[in-house]
A and B are shown apart, each in its own frame.
Chain A
Amino acid sequence: MSWESVIGIEVHVELATRSKMFCGCAVGFGEEPNTSICPTCLGLPGALPVPNEVALDSILAIGLALNCSVAPTSVFHRKNYFYADLPKNYQISQFDAPICGEGHLDVTVDGHTHRVGIERAHMEEDTGKSTHVGDGGRIHGASSTLLDFNRAGVPLVEIVSKPEIHSAAEARAYAQGLRAVVAELGVSDARLEEGSIRFDANVSIRPAGAATLGTKVEVKNMNSFRSLEHAVQYEIDRQIELVESGGVVVQETRHWDEEASLTRSMRSKEGSSDYRYFAEPDLTPMEMDEAWVERVRAALPELPAKRVDRYVASGLDGSMAEVLSGAGAPIRELYESTVAGGADARSAANWVTGEITAWQRREDTGSDQIPLTGTQLAELIGLIDDGKVSTSAAKEVLNGVLAGEGDPGEVARERDLIQISDVGAIEAAVDAVLTDNPDALSSLQAGEEKVLGFLVGQVMRATQGKADPKLVNEVIRARASG
């Protein structure tokens, strides 16, 4: 039998606001435990929550970027469950009236673009962190758990996809696309390793073509895109194998074990989870009127998908457009200003994603600044197009410009890298080489094309690399056929 996998992804995005979701405690404040805490985020008796307006702007930005509908009225709910890292033993979250409703994100795998539906995006608060330690201490050598509430109450946006993802590769592409959007919006650090963006996958299988969904298993604990892809693939394979050998998939939560490369069943949090959601009485409804939504929409940056389209329209091929779109803002800005300076889009893209990105990595200046203007890069590309410098010499010119030696023209002259494009001078050099290598000339005339390279090389050497190789080529061919 052939199987179809059905995957939905839940993403938790920690917002990079200054203060927490419902209190004024600093977010991302140092490493010392319990140093960013107050009555509200510690759940002290009597404390009350008040929502952070910037966090709400952020979820609206995320929703709009993911083409979600925005609810005119939305409310917070309490999600009730006991857990040591949850100070109030309920999480302020959203239930049946989330801020953002249906939307979608287009993902491309192997050149095929697939639209993944988004179910909703809602606002909630993060939990504290618990660290399990064995300490041979208090109770008959029992271990214990240390609790730090610095993270408790940090704003989280949960984005839930529809079960419209059908392979591990698509799951990965969706996660990457989503991360790119969030990073572009600047609303989160969106770092997987640090947990500021976290992905859980709901995986099920069904006979290909079946209309109903199979039993889903929630897979957690993936902290890289690679592990997300592996975990989903593992889970698909595990379920197929299980069902084919007569077993039944049980609804459960499984942890991805990166080292062992497998998922493991977790014991559930409550005997049976019953979150007893009800509207949070400490908070009043949110009304997202048009003025608010439009204010957020107007402030949205250009999003990756739109940008890729624009790049493609301006002449880049799809994969270059993706690479450039995924590059940092300084690289993209340099690209834009280079094209504005008159350079060809493809050449500009090649330079900024190639040499200049490599330079950035090599130098690692700690700053985003690139000491090169679009005008300068456009000039450099012009020098190549006009045959004034060779492509290899151009790289040297670039280094000179980046080192602050001046504009490309100046650097090329100073470093003596201007190509010889004077036909007379090149003919003289070619003739000298042909005279010294009569055998090679005959071979070329007899149709042995590979000799051409050798002859061009000789001419380049004789001119210390300054001859325009295209011209040299033409002259040699003319002599051989003449």
Chain B
Amino acid sequence: MDALNIARAGEMLRDGSLTATDLLDRVLKTAADTEAQIHAYLSIDRSGALEAASRADSELASGVDRGPLHGIPVAVKDNMVTRGLETTASSQILSGYVPPYDATVVTRLREGGAVIVGKTNLDEFAMGSSTENSAYGPTYNPWDINRIPGGSSGGSAAAVAAGSALVGLGSDTGGSIRQPAALTGVVGMKPTYGTVSRYGLIAFASSLDQIGPLSLTVLDSALTLQAIWGHDPLDATSYRGEYPDPLEGIGKGVDGLRVGVVKELAGEGYEPDVDERVSSMVEQLRTAGAEVVEVSLPTFEIALSAYYLIAPAECSANLARFDGIRYGLREEGETTEEMMSRTRAAGFGPEVTRRILLGTYALSAGYYDAFYGQAQRVRSAIREDFARAYGQVDVLVSPTSPTVAFKAGERTEDPLAMYLSDICTIPCNLSGDPAISVPIGLDFQGLPIGFQVMAPALGEPMMYRVASAVEQLAGFDARPDLELVAG
């Protein structure tokens, strides 16, 4: 069988040609074959998944239909808390931690009848772009196991690419869904800030974090979004107004739409194959009837700098709670302070430590205005740039990542080089707008390239409309060779 997507599996589950239990078996078999090489999962909840699958089967058989995710195996990034299931955010400091509650998205998955396969690997606390910063070892790219899958949602991306889940949940603070999606040849989407509850998402940078789906198709992405988004009274930043229908524009084409190509997201630093593929997709969109214009958003040049002050600042406070008192790791000390300092030094990996130090510094007396304060001004200016651009165009497009998947270890010693992986994705986190990465082809080495479509806040229907056109125009149907992976 080919890789099944949610829409196709959903039909089969309902016409009786497939059971949720069979589907889960198949997914678990793929995991068994590939995990040793890929390491997408930190833990697989075999018994919980089997139970959910057999419940889905009996419900569907008796006419209870919980919607598109009913009976669908889902991979959940391990920074979303799951009651009774170890949740570590890939950190040593949360080793063995079993949360007493479910994240709202997890509750929504359960209520939607989804089958949670397990918890996927990530860069520790979602800080990284390669899934190498995991205390439990890196995840590798199914397209080439010597390469990284991107990050920080590299585990969910790799699981979907490999077929050890039909869909995955990731979180995106600076590109952590879209960049790994691009590097593993899947669809990754970051919703408008405030539309998917963050309750139960272990915070990295609260004003930037957003949960979203990684899937094989654009339609699957929209179906999953529909299942997980919506107002949550437990999240004060949750949007309370009308939510649009994400499926509304899918398949409607781009005729007459205005597409803006971001001038700043091309050229130097972009791999030629990436630039070339993206440009040819832009041409295809033009041929399909879109009005294509080049748009300049000058503040994008300093977006990365602002991001690397704002995100660490928020993380320095968000990660203060890991102190060895209420949960997780403790290193003993003679005083509370000594215990805390030892615990934190031992429990956090180097990237997390670096960002905590960076954020603490950026907020500290005497430096706040020049760093954090100024970064907030840049953030405001980026929003203004976006507003100007969306006065002219319906969507903005760019590469998702300047490069294809890089080799494991290649950037671990150079934080700045690693940070540059997110140059195309960060602006939408700073603005809060939705954006999606759609695979459009392979480079000369056979590695996937992603195409990013950005839209204004709550513009998910327009974003999905263009994304589905891109998907169709690209006709991307290559899959990683799992025989090779399984060795």
Task: Indicate whether A and B are direct neighbours in the complex (CB within 8 Å).
Answer: yes
Does the CB pair A39–B101 fall under 8 Å?
Answer: yes
A-B pair count, CB < 8 Å, reads: 103
Chain B residue at smallest Cβ distance from A272 = B365
When the two chains form their complex, are residues A80 and B317 in contact, meaning their CB atoms are under 8 A apart?
Answer: yes
The answer for the CA separation of A89 and B233 in the assembled complex, in Å, is 24
A interface bracket (residues with beta carbon within 8 Å of B): 20 to 34
By a CB distance below 8 angstroms, the chain A residues around B199 are 46-48
Interface assignment of B52: CB less than 8 Å from any CB of chain A:
no
A-B contact pairs, 17 of them (CB 8 A): A39-B100, A45-B87, A45-B327, A46-B80, A46-B81, A46-B202, A47-B200, A48-B198, A78-B317, A82-B337, A90-B317, A276-B317, A276-B360, A276-B363, A278-B314, A281-B314, A283-B236
Task: Mark contacts of B371-410 with chain A using CB atoms, 8 A cut-off: 1 yes-contact digit, 0 otherwise.
Answer: 0100000000000000000000000000000000000000
- A42–B317 touching, CB < 8 Å: no
Q: B116 interface residue, CB < 8 Å from A?
A: no
Question: Is B476 in contact with chain A by the CB < 8 A criterion?
Answer: no
A284 CB within 8 Å of chain B: yes
- Per-residue 0/1 for B313-347: is the Cβ within 8 Å of any A Cβ (1 yes, 0 no)? 11011001111011100001010110010000000
Give chain B residues whose Cβ lies under 8 Å from the Cβ of A319: none
The reply to whether A139 and B101 contact each other, CB–CB distance below 8 Å, is no
A39–B101 alpha-carbon span in the complex (Å): 8
Known: A44-B327, A45-B97, A82-B340. A281 touches B206 (CB 8 A): yes
Contacts A43-B326, A276-B360, A276-B363 given; indicate if A284 touches B236 (C-beta within 8 A).
yes
* A284 surroundings in chain B (CB, below 8 A): 236-237
Name the interface residues of B84-112: CB closer than 8 Å to any CB of A: 87, 89, 94, 97, 99-101, 103
Of all chain B residues, the one with the shortest Cβ separation from A80 is: B317
Partner of A50, one of B79, B205, B236, B325: B236
CB distance from B324 to the nearest CB of A (A): 10
A142 at the interface (CB under 8 A from B): yes
A139 CB contacts on chain B under 8 angstroms:
332, 334
Q: Report B-chain residues with C-beta under 8 Å of the C-beta of A46.
A: 79-81, 99, 103, 199-203
In this assembly, does A147 line the interface, its C-beta being within 8 Å of a C-beta of chain B? Answer: yes
Task: Decide if B99 touches A44 in the complex (CB within 8 Å).
Answer: yes
A457 interface hit (Cβ, 8 Å):
no
What number of B residues sit within 8 Å (CB to CB) of A? 47
Q: Is B32 an interface residue (CB 8 A)?
A: no
CB distance from A113 to the nearest CB of B (A): 40
Distance between A19 CB and nearest chain B CB, rounded to angstroms: 13
B364 at the interface (CB under 8 A from A): yes
Given contacts A39-B101, A82-B337, contact A45 B321 (CB under 8 A): yes
Answer yes or no: B207 CB below 8 A from chain A CBs. Answer: yes
Annotate A58-72 by CB proximity to B: 1 below 8 A, 0 otherwise: 000000000000000
The reply on B245 being an interface residue by CB < 8 A is: no
Within 8 A of A (CB), among B222-249: 233-237
* Contact bitstring A229-262, B, C-beta under 8 A = 1, else 0: 0000000000000000000000000000000000
- In whole angstroms, what is the CA distance A50 to B99 when docked? 20
Q: Say which residue of B94, B200, B320 sits within 8 Å of A88 (CB atoms).
A: B320
Other 12 A-B pairs with CB < 8 A, given A84-B325, A276-B368: A39-B100, A39-B101, A44-B99, A44-B100, A44-B327, A45-B202, A46-B201, A50-B236, A88-B320, A90-B320, A274-B365, A282-B236
Is A195 among interface residues, defined by CB-CB distance under 8 A? no
Which residue of chain A is the closest to B340 with respect to CB atoms? A82
Query: In the assembled complex, how far is the CB of residue B147 from the closest CB belonging to chain A, in whole angstroms?
Result: 30
Closest residue of A by beta carbon distance from B341 = A82
The 10 A-B pairs with the shortest beta carbon distances in the complex, nearest first, are A89-B320, A281-B207, A276-B363, A281-B206, A46-B200, A43-B321, A45-B202, A46-B81, A50-B236, A88-B321
Within 8 Å CB of A80, what residues of B?
A: 316-317, 320, 363
Q: How far is the CA of A51 from the CA of B363 in the complex (A)?
A: 25
Interface assignment of A342: CB less than 8 Å from any CB of chain B: no
Is the C-beta of A326 less than 8 angstroms from some C-beta in chain B?
no
Q: Judge whether A87 and B321 touch: CB under 8 Å.
A: yes
Contact with A along B340-366 (1 / 0, CB 8 A): 100000000000000000001001110
A12-48: CB near B (< 8 Å → 1, else 0) gives 0000000000000000000000000001001111111
**Nearest CB of chain A from residue B361's CB, rounded to whole Å:** 10
